Chains A and B, each alone.
Chain A
Amino acid sequence: MGKTAASFLLAIILASPWPVFAQNTEDTPVRGFGTPVAQSDIDRLSITIFPDGRNLPEGRGTVRDGKALYADKCAACHGAKGREGPASRLAGSDGFFSIWDPLRILRIANSPMLVNSAGAQWPYATTLFDYTRRAMPHDAPKSLTNNEVYALTAYMLFLNDLVKRNFIADKGTLVKVEMPGLAKSTSAWEHEQNNGKH
């Protein structure tokens, strides 16, 4: 199909109030049962934070505030230092249990989740903010204010020695934190796209 013809078709699709034929599923008319969403509804629901900081809200939080919040809302599941569990390890090495550790099998059997440490594996600090805001604390997700989430994010980064004690998390500083996981990260999908099948 020529470029002009394609533009013409596209114009019809966009302009027509009736079911029309679209790309890929040429035999399937666009049903048009969806209804428009107000921008205010999108803004309310759209909570995903991206690695470049897109969608991070206004607000800020200090390591010091985060420490108090952490003790109150997080330590019971994640441990006083974010390393003890039983819930996912937040800080520490990449979680490898040495094969010389005499209790290794027991540790793995008892706490398979602990082998993943957010601080060591996650490539972007923005994910700490995103996940804490949407899913934590486990018994009351989405109950934290943006400032509280910033403070907890600052404290988790501090527990990983990735920021200094005077660090203040906000939408400008979070994207600048260098996570050790980034240098190790690869994308299997990208690799597959570039090199064909596995």
Chain B
Amino acid sequence: MKKTDLPEIAGGGLIARRSFLASGLLFATAAPALARTVDPGNATIVDGRPDWMTQPGGDGVAYGLPSPHEAHVVRHAIPYMDESVGFAPWHTPIAAQQGIITPNGLHFAVHHNGLPDIDPEVHELIIHGLVDRPLRFTMDELLRYPIVSSIRFLECAGNTAANALSFTPLNFSVDVISGQVSGAEWAGVRVADLLNESGVKPGGKWVIAEGADAGSLTRSLPLSKLMDDAIIALYQNGERLRPAQGYPVRLFVPGWEGNTNIKWLHRLELTDVPAFTRDESGLYSEPRSDGTIEHFTFPMGVKSVITHPSGLQTLPEKKGFYEISGLAWSGHGRIARVDISADEGKTWARADLDQTPMDKALVRFSLPWRWDGKPTTLLSRATDEIGNIQPTRKEWKSHYAAHAHNHYNAIQSWRIKKDGEVENVYG
């Protein structure tokens, strides 16, 4: 079978995985690698054997770290955002990752007044307000409750704000544009277990959650959601939370905007009404195109982004085969499908999902693609289980004021230029 015989399932060179695998082209495209000349770098190679095959290796370490060769895979601090404007976001390098789990040291983080260094022996969680019994919990006491765990995504409300705000598309990497999303397994105590213990008085409808950081970051959350699936998270990917994720304890509210997942949690106050804290009054509210300002916009909308290839990368080979791959998620539930277009949105093909999508978790999607060497645009469009479809940028912008920058979930377009460079574009 010749390359040109592979049946396309959509324009621009999208190929069904089955025919691609059957054709044996995977091996054919790998073949040129055999002929490459190897730069030995720091390795000593004798008789074709690098020294790591001929000498005993190094010692283990108590807490493992990535290979020094991966030292470039780090979070990105956003240059124009720092403590002087009120908060510092650190973006996950999603272009360097596969699968759906973000390592703890690379999980995105936004902190509004630095990272507190909290002593777990001193830190307590108190529950009060419209409860039958105001209660306090030490960290040791919390750890005695049943621990439940789930794999979930977490996304900042302001993820992809650059594309929401900027009049022209900025030529950034996907990490900088959309790196305020991560995936992890979160484990902790059901908020419902603690509230059942304190009891909730009639009229208790909201819970004011407050952190013990310098800014005492605070959000008002509906009691019904906290009783449904929220947890007091103590573990992330099998280890205790990192300081940047709220050590020793954070609120985790599946599918809801990152800011509501209060880190360094120390207080839950049951009330009848929301408090209209700073964050829910301004920063995490959305000015709409009709002049209203929407508050308490909690779930993150259905969204996807192609990470491979993505902004600032260069495709190494014209007319080559590539695996298009990316991440999709929805704060409303599971992803139902992701479609990919390789011809500027004219035709679409259903992408493969790497695993059965989980509730409010990232899912990895992919499709084989043969680039014909001509400029084109790659897009991905996710649909969730309740039928929400990712909007186009134009549709999204039509709902919001020009300066709205939260909850931007429009379809991401990557322009593939003649020379293989990948660039962020609109439309």
Binding site for B on A (CB under 8 A): 13-14, 22-25, 28, 30-37, 39, 41-42, 45-52, 77, 85-88, 94-97, 99, 104-105, 108-113, 115-118, 121-124, 126-127, 130-131, 134-135, 138, 141-142, 181, 184-190, 197-198
Contacts and interface: CB of A to CB of B under 8 A. Distances in A.
A115 B216 contact: no
Interface residues of B, number: 78
A43 B194 CA distance: 21
B190 A25 contact: yes
Contact of A47 (B84, B216, B288, B299): B216
Contacts of A108: 165-167, 403
Give the 8 A-B residue pairs with the shortest CB-CB distance, closest first. A34-B135, A22-B196, A131-B278, A189-B296, A135-B215, A122-B281, A188-B297, A134-B216
A88 B85 CA distance: 6
Contacts of B132: 14
B128 to A, nearest CB: 5
A105 B296 contact: no
B278 A135 contact: yes
A188 B298 contact: yes
B168 A105 contact: yes
Contact of A188 (B83, B128, B295): B295
A86 B85 contact: yes
B170 A186 contact: no
A77 B293 contact: no
A94 B227 CA distance: 36
Interface of B: 80-81, 83-86, 112-113, 126-128, 132-137, 141-142, 144-146, 161, 165-168, 170, 190, 192-194, 196-199, 208, 210, 214-218, 222, 227, 266-267, 269, 271, 273, 275-278, 281-283, 285-288, 291-299, 301, 332, 386, 388, 401-403, 405
B403 A115 contact: yes
Nearest to A25: B192
A32 to B, nearest CB: 6
B136 A35 contact: yes
Contact of B277 (A48, A95, A118): A48
